[in-house]
Structure 1
Amino acid sequence: MSENSMTNLTTDVEIKGTIKFEKVMNVDGKFEGELIADNGELIVGKTGIVKANIKVKNATIEGRLDGNIEAAEKVELKQNAQLLGDLQAKTLIIEEGVVFVGNCNVNPDGTKTEKQNVENQNIKVIKNI
């Protein structure tokens, strides 16, 4: 991946506000606010701490995310990631060791389900010791 196609927020960066981007954003620092990229990809690195509502095409979470995430395609929660918030995507990949507390709506077809009164489900995945 070329340098021009990725935006990096390094570990020494703290930002509050709204960021709109088009390609790939890698957050290793702290961000609070809103991240929007209809066709972009968000990567929250191992040292990344994000408190935001997120709307992207794809997301990979390795650090901590407090907020809701809506992905048009895929969300991947890597080992030791922490997601405290609701998630909506067509595809979800969860590795062992992830903490996820929130509501989850994963629908590969992107269509509404017949059953409309589905109760909220809280999911927590933790590594077995």
Structure 2
Amino acid sequence: MSIDESARYQPLTALEAAVRHAMAGHGDETAVLTELLASDICVPSASEVQASGAGLTPLLVTSTRFSSRMVLLFDDISRIGPELSAKAPYCLQVAGDWLIRSIAPDLGITLFVGPGIGCELSPALLTEARLR
């Protein structure tokens, strides 16, 4: 992307804007979490999932930063590529606050908002959010 294209680029979602802002040093993970709680997100699932979340089998990755398992999330279904779709052919679109309150307390999240653009939110930060 050229400098001119970069200056005109408009994020696809408010969540993407928050992550990009934090990556540029103008925000932090708390700001990303705040936007996540107010956003709809996409959770790839290895098994068929109902709108209620029943049957959800999210993909888990291991964070070297936090030494914990992380649920893989996307800000938009268009971000999920064919390789990942082969592993998780189903997807749950759900409110971010619902997901944060529903996952196990020992899990964090890895959130992707674009090709190679994402962040990790620790289990500890998510626990703090649940207590609010």
**TM tier, smaller:** under 0.3
TM-score by length of 1: 0.27
Taking CA–CA contacts closer than 8 Å with sequence separation of 6 or more, which of the two structures ends up with the larger relative contact order? 2
TM-score by length of 2: 0.27
